Chains A and B, each alone.
Chain A
């Protein structure tokens, strides 16, 4: 299985999309090129505001601009949107439910930048913030069509965005739809719920599992809050042997927790296994290395399925479709981060 690789999916798409939206502004905190908006800045210099390395203030400025009827789109790495300026995010932006768009890059363990650059608990924190909408893109199609979704939300939106070389998994004419899971396969043995880049990771092995006779309902989630799509509840209720979640995030408070809440509230009595960072920080290394080290890869999914079924499937690591190697030094990115 190989996908079309889209280089810098956000860059030109965001420029084209912004053309007829004069209220759309960009605020950037010294990561303009790294967040694929340098060309946007050069195209719309009057709508671009450099805020420097000062995120607390940037959140406040965004709030003020939104109150004046503008739609600020903040671009920086995810960690700098919710860790350092969390109080400002909550009191200046989320409490008044302002139309501020927080475009966060480098979700989870996608960067060799290490613990300071890896947003591993952003969803957990954002989920706990009232008024916040959380979107996570899983491929180039979603990285591009997420703009319309965020734009339509009458409140603050946090986007876990992808950049650089991004696979196109979903057809370009099947855009991101708000609060609607993508049903990638239907089956009754296992229900598999994945989000972000973990969907691509899961797809390395799902067909192989199916060849081994395991039927799987596989849902790709791109709206993490709200988390009320009836398709999710339906898929969870049909799982005979168990539910597995896969997220590029700590297993505390993210997708796995959201699924657990639904299952507990509805008394769904099958075991849930959450694949993700197991309540640990990570370190600086390649995505591939970290996914293997922290048991977040396709092989980990095979083991989880075996646990759910209570039997070995005798799938060899070599049988699993090769993981797409993401070059840390790709020229699609401004720096190796």
Chain B
């Protein structure tokens, strides 16, 4: 295993910044997708600060105001892909599937100097592209994936197109575990193997929670690894907070698509959140007392 020590220091910094920014934002706005930040902070920071081969951006980009929806024959449309740098045959791409992680993704972009520091000031504000559920005009999104489980098929098409063009860069998909309840995911799994998309990579935040609560009470998906392997994928299972393990898995070269299942803890870094278990999907304070507790936790976090 390579020595990742230098990379890991940076990734840990980004992960900490993600949690801090999302908590700060949730306190200020009486709500936010906090557990998603806690579960995916190491996963997304590993992607943005360690794994993805993106072209650099000259300086952090200011989020544009909403500039209209895509229309027939309009070619001025710019997707949130611009925050990932100029695409090229050897660069990686990242398609984020659970658009509900938008706040977390925006935070990762700020921490990696791709989105301007004040980007979150525009979050969920009228006329902004920094939307609550990211669409393809939102920073870090190049497709529209708020209707869950569509990204893997879209990315499969992108990976197939890149393969036809002989491009060497990888196409990454960030997914959430709830999407393994949707039938389309399994259609996509079989198609990606059938069409030999060896440069397709999927990384999943398996935080075992969804809108209604713990997944095992909503619709079980285990044994997830066995299911995906049965479709012909290469699968790695890692502790989603173990940066070294995520980095090692990301380097695997395979002749079939590869999926990294990151098992995560939805309250990691913010144990206070466990008091709200089992429903962790969205943090909205129920009393001034609760809010005060989170403010105290925030002070602890920024020490």
Docked CA distance A52–B184 (Å): 13
Given that A64-B154, A64-B156, A65-B157 are contacting pairs, would A56 and B187 also be in contact in the complex, using a CB cutoff of 8 Å?
A: yes
Would B69 and A64 count as touching, CB distance under 8 A? no
Q: Which residues from chain A contact B195 at a C-beta distance below 8 Å? A: 49
Q: Are B194 and A52 in contact (CB under 8 A)?
A: yes
Checking A60, A96, A153, A155 against B184 with a beta-carbon cut-off of 8 angstroms, the contacting residue is A60
Given A54-B191, A131-B71, A154-B72, A64-B158 contact (CB < 8 Å):
yes
With A60-B154, A133-B72 already in contact, the answer to whether A68 and B162 are too (CB < 8 A) is: yes
Asked whether, in the complex, the Cβ of A70 is within 8 Å of the Cβ of B191, the reply is no
Interface residues of B in 105-151 (CB under 8 A from A): 136, 142-147, 150-151
Checking A50, A70, A96 against B161 with a beta-carbon cut-off of 8 angstroms, the contacting residue is A70
Interface string of A39-64 (1 = CB under 8 A from B): 00000000001111010111111111
Contact present for A88 and B161 (CB under 8 Å): no
The answer on a CB contact under 8 Å between A67 and B72 is no
Interface string of A84-126 (1 = CB under 8 A from B): 0001100110011100000000000000000000000000000
Q: How far is the CA of A130 from the CA of B156 in the complex (A)?
A: 25
Size of the B side of the interface (Cβ < 8 Å), in residues, is 36
What is the CA–CA distance of A103 and B156 in the complex, to the nearest angstrom? 21
A69 in contact (CB, < 8 A)? yes
Tell me which residues across on chain A come within 8 A of B183, comparing CB atoms. 56
On whether the beta carbons of B143 and A92 are closer than 8 Å, the reply is yes
In the complex, which of the residues B73, B157, B194 contacts A60, with contact meaning CB atoms closer than 8 Å?
Answer: B157
Q: Contact at B73–A61, with CB atoms within 8 Å?
A: no
Measured CA separation A67–B69 after assembly (Å): 16
- Is B72 within 8 A of A88, CB to CB? no
Min distance, Cβ B221 to any Cβ of chain A, angstroms: 18
Asked if B161 contacts A57 (CB within 8 A), the reply is no
Cα distance A131–B144 in the bound complex, in angstroms = 15
Contact with A along B81-120 (1 / 0, CB 8 A): 0000000000000000000000000000000000000000
Q: Is the CB of B150 within 8 A of A54?
A: no
Q: Give the chain B neighbours of A62 by CB distance below 8 A.
A: 157
Cβ proximity bits A63-79 to B, threshold 8 Å, 1 near / 0 not: 11111111000000000
Nearest-neighbour CB distance to chain A for B179, whole angstroms, equals 13
Size band of the A side of the interface? 20 to 34
A 140-153 to B, binary, CB cutoff 8 A, 1 in contact else 0: 00000000000001
Q: A54: which of B158, B160, B165, B190 is its contact (CB, 8 Å)?
A: B190
Q: Is the CB of B158 within 8 A of A57?
A: no
Query: Across the interface, do B144 and A67 meet the contact criterion of CB distance under 8 Å?
Result: no
* Residue from the list A70, A130, A155 in contact with B73, Cβ < 8 A: A155
**B220 interfacial by beta-carbon distance below 8 Å:** no
Residues of A within 8 A of B144 (CB): 91-92, 95-96
- Report whether A60 and B153 are in contact in the complex, using a CB–CB cutoff of 8 Å: yes
Q: Which residues of B contact A95 (CB under 8 A)?
A: 69-70, 136, 144
Contacting pair B190 A60 (CB below 8 A): no
C-alpha gap A52/B189 in the complex (Å): 12
CA distance A237 to B144 in the complex (A): 43
Q: Are A61 and B153 in contact (CB under 8 A)?
A: yes
Q: How far, in Å, is A89 (CB) from chain B's closest CB? A: 11
Q: B155: which A residues are within 8 A, CB to CB?
A: 64
CB distance from A67 to the nearest CB of B (A): 6
B18 part of interface (Cβ distance < 8 Å): no
Contact check, B157 vs A68: say whether CB atoms are below 8 A apart.
yes
CB distance from A243 to the nearest CB of B (A): 29
B164 within 8 A of A: yes
Indicate if the CB atoms of B136 and A96 lie closer than 8 Å.
Answer: yes
Are A97 and B72 CB-contacts (below 8 A) given A57-B187, A91-B147? yes
On chain A, the residues within 8 Å of B152 by CB distance are: 60
Question: Is there a chain A Cβ closer than 8 Å to B203's Cβ?
Answer: no
B74 closest partner in A (C-beta): A97
Q: Does B247 contact A (CB under 8 A)?
A: no
Q: From known contacts A52-B190, A57-B156, A96-B143, infer whether A154 and B73 are also in contact, taking CB-CB under 8 Å.
A: yes
Minimum C-beta distance from A101 to chain B (A): 14
Interface flags for B155-174 (1: CB within 8 Å of A; 0: not) read: 11111111011000000000
Is A60 touching B161 in the complex (CB atoms < 8 A)?
no
* Further contacts, 7 of them, CB under 8 A, given A56-B184, A87-B147, A95-B69: A49-B160, A54-B191, A61-B160, A63-B154, A68-B164, A91-B147, A131-B70
A–B complex contacts, Cβ < 8 Å, 19 sampled: A51-B191, A54-B191, A56-B153, A57-B156, A59-B153, A61-B157, A61-B160, A63-B157, A64-B155, A64-B156, A64-B159, A68-B158, A68-B164, A70-B161, A91-B145, A91-B146, A92-B144, A97-B70, A155-B72
Would you list the 6 A-B pairs with minimal beta carbon distance, nearest first? Answer: A64-B157, A60-B153, A68-B161, A57-B187, A155-B72, A54-B187
